Amino acid sequence: MKKVFDEVASLEKRVVKDFFLSEEILMEHASNSIFNYILKKFRKNKTILIVCGCGNNGADGLALARLLHKNFNVKIYIVKEPKSAMAKLQYKRAKSLNIEFVHNLFEADIIVDCIFGTGLNKKLDENIINLIASLNSFNSFKIACDIPSGIDIYGQIINIAYKSDITFTMGAYKTSLFSDTAKDYVGDIKLVNLGVHKDIFQIDADIFLLEKKDMVLPFRNNKNSHKGTFGHLNIIAGEKIGASIISSKAAFSFGAGLVTIVCSKEQNITEYIMQSRNIAQNCTAIAIGMGLGEIYDKNLEEILELNFPKVFDADIFYKPLIVNYLDENIVLTPHPKEFISLLKLTNIADISIEELQNNRFLYVKKFCKKYPKTTLLLKGANVLIAKDNKIYINSYGTQVLSKGGSGDVLSGLIASLLAQGYEPLNATISASLAHTLASKKYKKNNYSLNPNDLIKKVKKL
């Protein structure tokens, strides 16, 4: 996993002060990384339009133009006259090399956005809005320097944002790149070294970007085993039995030795999934909430008081009594609407979905501060997994998963690992990665995934 920071200005100041680097050295490394990428990816003599603002993000663009101009047909468009000292210096350098400055936007082969970077803290004026809209309309390969212009430090889009194919983020990953809103604008994200190794540039962090290698699959290495060796998951069925069936199939396919659906009457379900009216004596984990609907709180309370690791999902987040059972053996998997209900029930906040989506990291931190032993997974375009003061970002999710039943698969995967003895946080991280990475392997139309398709892909990880 990789470290993520809310801001990197303090990290840049630190390496300048402690390691005697200069602002100019940092800038040369930033522009050189983009230069090397373009040089490797594109044939020479392609047209490149670099759109520069008045600050240091614009200076990065001017430095990039200086590096590119002998190999490509480079044009510079100045949005506003340079104001920062580095922008003025890089402007002089570009002028001295007779790089062409243009006064009109055009559809180049490659467009590089160097307007604002992470410095945006206000609404855009009409001219900038129109400029970014024009850039977005071009059928060019689009590169963003540090962060697409129009996205602020919180990952919010104030008016409009540049839609890039790739974003080069300088020195460290930033939380603003991983808001749900930003996901449609950042494209691929590439980390740029600024002159010192990342382990020196970056300090300790509380937020991390998950990688594929962080997934620990439930491989069976011991030959001397039986079905009980790998746990017995009990899934509590509610009014909508289909959700429990989906979760049970996912759990069984992800290594649980035994899976039982606990329901009031016998159902016509897959033959390898057991049914019972009671919790099994050898139960090792419980999943509850999927398709729960209306269930008597007395019955629900009896289940919640059982001392097993549990996954809470879906309808249970509207039940007030859930507040009494938020402890270290619990994994919560709400989507945004369910999470705002949970925030209200726990007296943390009474907010709208829009407020939550604009401040996902903030409210996840607030929840985990109050319930540090609980593992929380907040669903979204970028999944946030949190426990205590640590947040883990799973950015592998795609629109393929935006189908009914996908969340039930996820709950089954997490619960399966809990039943097999994983710690709650590790179970949640590995199951979430399996869930999203499996979806990326689905090659048919991105609207056509169903839960069984997803489960089949999980089997092939």
Is 228 labeled as ligand-binding? no
Is 117 labeled as ligand-binding? yes
Is 18 labeled as ligand-binding? no
Pairing assessment for the beta strands 188-192 and 166-170 based on DSSP bridges: parallel
- Given a contact cutoff of 8 angstroms between Cβ atoms, the answer to whether 409 and 356 are in contact is no
The residue among 212, 214, 218 whose CA lies nearest residue 417 is 218
Is 291 labeled as ligand-binding? yes
Is 118 labeled as ligand-binding? yes
Is 243 labeled as ligand-binding? yes
Is 332 labeled as ligand-binding? no
Q: CB-based contacts of 82: which residues, under 8 Å, 6+ apart?
A: 54, 58, 59, 62, 88, 90, 91
Is 335 labeled as ligand-binding? yes
Is 408 labeled as ligand-binding? yes
E strand map for 53-165: 73-78, 100-102, 110-114, 141-145
Q: At 224, which amino acid appears?
A: N
Is 149 labeled as ligand-binding? yes
The residue among 407, 403, 373 whose CA lies nearest residue 390 is 373
Is 146 labeled as ligand-binding? yes
What is the C-alpha to C-alpha distance for residues 109 and 140, in angstroms, rounded to an integer? 5
Is 280 labeled as ligand-binding? no
The alpha carbon dihedral of 355, 356, 357, 360 has a sign of: positive
Pairing assessment for the beta strands 100-102 and 73-78 based on DSSP bridges: parallel
What spatial distance separates the first Cα and last Cα of the chain, rounded to whole Å? Answer: 19
Is 122 labeled as ligand-binding? yes
Is 407 labeled as ligand-binding? yes
Is 150 labeled as ligand-binding? no
Cite the annotated binding site for AMP by residue number.
Answer: 407
Cite the annotated binding site by residue number.
Answer: 56-60, 113, 117-123, 146, 149, 243, 291, 335, 407-408
Cite the annotated binding site for K(+) by residue number.
Answer: 57, 113, 149
Cite the annotated binding site for (6S)-NADPHX by residue number.
Answer: 56-60, 117-123, 146, 243, 291, 335, 408
